[in-house]
Amino acid sequence: MMGYEYIGITVLWVFLYGYLIVASVDFGAGFFAYYARRTNKDHIMNKLISRYLSPVWEVTNVFFVFFFVGLVGFFPDMAYYFGQALLIPGSIAIVLLAIRGSFYAFESYGSKNNSVFMFLYGATGLLIPASLSTALTISEGGFLNVTDDGVRLQITELLLSPYSWSVVLLAIVSVLYISSMFLSYYAHKAGDKDALSLLRKYALFWSIPTIIASMTVFIAMSQHNPEHFDRLFDYWWVFGLSVLFYLIAVFLVYSEKLYGFAFIAVMLQFFFAFFGYGVSKLPYLLYPHVTISESVTPDAMGLALVVAFIGGLLLLIPSLVMLMRMFLFDADYIKGNK
Amino acid sequence: MIELDSVMLSRMLTAMTLIFHIIFATVGVGVPVMISIAELIGIKKKDKYYSLMAKRWARGFTIIVAVGVVTGTAIGLQLSLLWPSFMQLAGKVIALPLFMETFAFFFEAIFLGAYLYTWDRFKNPMTHWWLSIPIIIGGTLSAFFITTVNAFMNTPAGFDVEDGVINAINPLAAMFNPATPTKVFHVVSSAYMTSAAILATIAAVTYLVKRDQEYAKRALKLTVTATLVFSISTAVAGDLSAKFLAEYQPEKLAAGEWHFETEEGADLVLFGTLNDDNEITGEIRLPKALSFLAYGNFDAEVTGLDKIPDDEEPPLFIHYFFDLMVSIGMFVLLVSGLYVLMTYVKKWNPHNKLMLWALTTIGPLSMLAIEFGWVYAEIGRQPWIMRGFMKVAEGATTSPNVGAMFLLFFLLYFVLGIGTLVVLRKMFKDHPAEVELEHLYTEVGKGGER
């Protein structure tokens, strides 16, 4: 019988993975939109981006809210440690997300023509993943000073750490990689040849730093948290599968076919890497202060959360399918006929 | 002199975020109801004005909802960032409604995207209308769940504490605590009322500046009638809330009413001021009315502040907020009632200047009443963060950087607020309803873009 803590962490990890994928598409699109504008190619990109992203940006945001509310719900101790330590980075992330959210609200009414707003839209696309990935870095331990007076983030050590920079780098390049892979698929589906040829180039370009950064993180981890590094090796085959799907994705896009499958391969690539990383982290949620079994919410609440989660899924899955059929898989809509 | 330590600054930052968020959250809960009604009338009566009304409201709603989402995300994270010890403790008991709230939000977000981007996409217009129902359900359920969390902080229930350790948790008992029914009723009802009143204000202004009067007439009829209905239910909810307070949180009622001595047949104090010796001057006294308000009986005994330990007494200035909230509620009820009455009596002209001017005030006033009501409710439970269990100072972060974050968020809300106003103004001022109507029906079939 699996305890609620394992159900809880699995649920949360699935949602964080979901956020990783949908938010990467969003964040990367912001950067590409700005870049395209600088290189006078915005007419190619903008329509594609606003047709897909405007109806779904809120859903993207919910994945994130869901994760942190669920984390506090299943593991209330995390609120104590992360809450105290992350006031500044957390607040900055909120502000960046707010700038981005307001872009979608204001875009149809002028902000798209405003260079400052376009710049902010592009910049937040890279800064948000960087700031959010910091929370994962901190969870590896070594950056918190825990005393009776409270929990403090040791910001200098964070800024000087090779591990923290390698994670930031990976976050940024994989956002651009995932996003360009998705948008290639979307452009292909829309029959937009110009956009496809542009995005395909981006996708192939960003695939290289993505794989390099993944390796760098491994090396930095061996220095930073050797204990976790050893456990990573227990799951070497999971990371092997991730690399395999990476090769499949890049090959398909390179040979200009099966863009849909290529994106599924990208999703599987990150699925295995992300879950391999997650499972090897356990039993620690925040090394070495919070472990999964000690911090878990009492049984009665754990059960209630799991029941609520199943009920919620029964409602969400059909609704999400409906939304995807409307905006993602409706060929007429994508081509701009609706 | 107030000391600006982390506790005080955390309170100020939380208050600022909530005061800003509540504007958008309130409209976010109520306006979908109005949009849905207008769209349905438009379809059933085949009246293009109502269909246009639904579309125009929905367009403005997109902006409001987006700001609501980002400020809601902010308060969601700030709860843990500013009140880590509170969340560590309370998370064990109230995680369920917080978690369910995100489900409701998720549900609403999905259908909102579907609704806003599919006007005229379906052969049968009713298909599109049906998409509005899950938005209403999602929005109202969000309000429900998050209000149960706030209710829990007022009347904690569903757990036992032994030697500082929480045990025997019952998540449903925590969610359906004694404060839940009246709070939810009052919150949802007043959100509907305020949203209807704001739309009424917009219609009244449109009519007054002599633009789109055919459109504005219909909008007024619909919105003011809705305001009347919802303000009646809000008043009922308010009355039930007072009775709840008398029983479960007598210190909040007593501080709000300046009721110092426990007595039978207590007077209701309206308005007035307190002098330095805590004596009331310039008030209107309704004999025995407080007993009636609290218990439905003019001779009932009402607990006064003399029975409350001094260090658990809420600040007395909440009296003003209570009075303002109630006065505004009564005013809106009267104005909307009068308008509805005038539309039924043929001889009277409901669109006379004075009436319209009065109607232009009810939206902003209702929103102010919402803010006043929340200030009363929140400051009225000081010094507790979890009444009877945890004081505010014990829940706050120890971080020394709250002050800087306060400034950061002040700047953010300032920019968001200005941006919202500018965009909304641009959206409607340059596109009058009449012009849009003509445009809509000469270009039939091209209307897919919102």
DSSP per-residue string spanning B375-409: HHHHHTTTTEEETTTEEHHHHS---TTHHHHHHHH
**Measured distance CA(A311)–CA(A129) in Å, rounded:** 31
Q: Which residues of B98-136 are buried (b: 16+ CB within 10 A; e: fewer)?
A: bbbbbbbbbbbbbbbbbbbbbbbbeeeeeebbebbebbb
**Measured distance CA(A144)–CA(A155) in Å, rounded:** 9
Predicted local distance difference test score (pLDDT) of residue B409: 92
Beta-ladder partners of B276: none
User: Is the Cβ–Cβ distance between B236 and B297 less than 8 Å?
Assistant: no
The dihedral built from the CA positions of residue A230, A231, A236 and A241, taken in this order, carries a sign that is negative
With 0-12 CB in 10 A as exposed, 13-18 as middle and 19+ as buried, what is A173?
A: buried
Please give the residue of chain A at the shortest CA–CA distance from B174.
A301
- Retrieve residue A186's tokens: 């979307």
- Retrieve residue A319's tokens: 């609704």
> Which of A46-50, B15-19, B74-78 shows the lowest mean pLDDT across its residues?
A46-50
Residue B106 phi, psi (nearest 5): -60, -50
A81-105 per-position pLDDT tens digit? 888 888 888 888 889 888 888 877 7
User: Is the Cβ–Cβ distance between B339 and B350 less than 8 Å?
Assistant: yes
Q: Which stretches within B117-130 are classed as H helix?
A: 125-130
Please give the residue of chain B at the shortest CA–CA distance from A296.
B92
> What confidence category does residue B449 fall into, taking pLDDT thresholds of 50, 70 and 90?
very low
Residues 176 through 195 of chain A touching chain B, CB cutoff 8 Å = none
In A186-319 the beta strands, taken as DSSP E runs, fall at: 284-286, 290-291
Q: Does B141 touch chain A (CB under 8 A)?
A: no
**Measured distance CA(B191)–CA(B197) in Å, rounded:** 10
Residues 34 through 53 of chain B touching chain A, CB cutoff 8 Å = none
Within 8 A of B171 by CB-CB distance, chain A residues are: 300-301, 304
Q: Does A72 touch chain B (CB under 8 A)?
A: yes
CA neighbours closer than 13 Å in the CB half-sphere of residue B384: 21
Residue A295 phi, psi (nearest 5): -95, -5
Q: Does A102 touch chain B (CB under 8 A)?
A: yes
Mean pLDDT, rounded, of chain B: 85
User: Is the Cβ–Cβ distance between A190 and A334 less than 8 Å?
Assistant: yes
**∠ CA A175-A179-A180 to the nearest 5 degrees?**
120
User: In one letter, which amino acid is B232?
Assistant: I
Within 8 A of A54 by CB-CB distance, chain B residues are: 113, 117
Q: How many angstroms separate the Cα of B186 from the Cα of each of A132, A270, B135, B440?
A: 37, 46, 20, 39
Its ipTM equals 0.82
With 0-12 CB in 10 A as exposed, 13-18 as middle and 19+ as buried, what is B368?
A: middle
CB contact under 8 A, B423 and A105: yes
DSSP string for B61-95: HHHHHHHHHHHHHHHHHHHHHH-HHHHHHHHHHHH
Within 8 A of A77 by CB-CB distance, chain B residues are: 88
Which own/partner pairs from A262-268 qualify as long-range (CB within 8 Å, at least 24 positions apart)? A262/A181, A262/A184, A262/A185, A263/A181, A263/A182, A263/A184, A263/A185, A266/A177, A266/A178, A266/A181, A266/A182, A267/A21, A268/A241, A268/A242
Q: Which of A161-165, B107-111, B254-258, B327-331 has the highest mean pLDDT?
A: B327-331
Average pLDDT over residues B62-73: 88
Within 8 A of A104 by CB-CB distance, chain B residues are: 66
**Measured distance CA(B315)–CA(B382) in Å, rounded:** 7
CA neighbours closer than 13 Å in the CB half-sphere of residue A51: 25
With 0-12 CB in 10 A as exposed, 13-18 as middle and 19+ as buried, what is B179?
A: buried
> What confidence category does residue A110 fall into, taking pLDDT thresholds of 50, 70 and 90?
low
Q: Does A204 touch chain B (CB under 8 A)?
A: no
**Measured distance CA(A329)–CA(A326) in Å, rounded:** 6
Which residues does A251 contact at the CB level (< 8 Å), separation at least 6? none
Q: Min CA distance, B381 vs chain A (Å)?
A: 23
Q: How many angstroms separate the Cα of B62 from the Cα of each of A103, A324, B54, B441?
A: 12, 20, 12, 23
Residue A121 phi, psi (nearest 5): -60, -45
- Residue to test with chain B: of A19, A65, A154, A320, most B Cβ within 10 A: A65
Within 8 A of B146 by CB-CB distance, chain A residues are: none
Average pLDDT over residues B177-194: 93
- Residue to test with chain B: of A4, A16, A22, A69, most B Cβ within 10 A: A69
B23-63 per-position pLDDT tens digit? 999 999 999 999 999 999 988 988 888 888 888 898 888 88
Within 8 A of A18 by CB-CB distance, chain B residues are: none
CB contact under 8 A, A95 and B408: yes
Which contiguous run of DSSP H or E holds residue B265? none
A142-172 per-position pLDDT tens digit? 777 777 777 777 777 778 787 888 888 888 8
**Measured distance CA(B175)–CA(B180) in Å, rounded:** 7
Give yes or no for residue A51 having a pLDDT over 70: no
Q: Which stretches within A140-192 are classed as H helix?
A: 155-160, 162-190
Q: Residue A80 carries which DSSP code? A: H
**Measured distance CA(B384)–CA(B90) in Å, rounded:** 13
> Which of A295-299, A304-308, B236-240 shows the lowest mean pLDDT across its residues?
A295-299
Which residues does A192 contact at the CB level (< 8 Å), separation at least 6? A44, A48
Measured from the Cβ of residue B334, the count of other Cβ atoms closer than 10 Å reads 13
Q: Residue A296 carries which DSSP code? A: P
User: Is the Cβ–Cβ distance between A304 and B171 less than 8 Å?
Assistant: yes
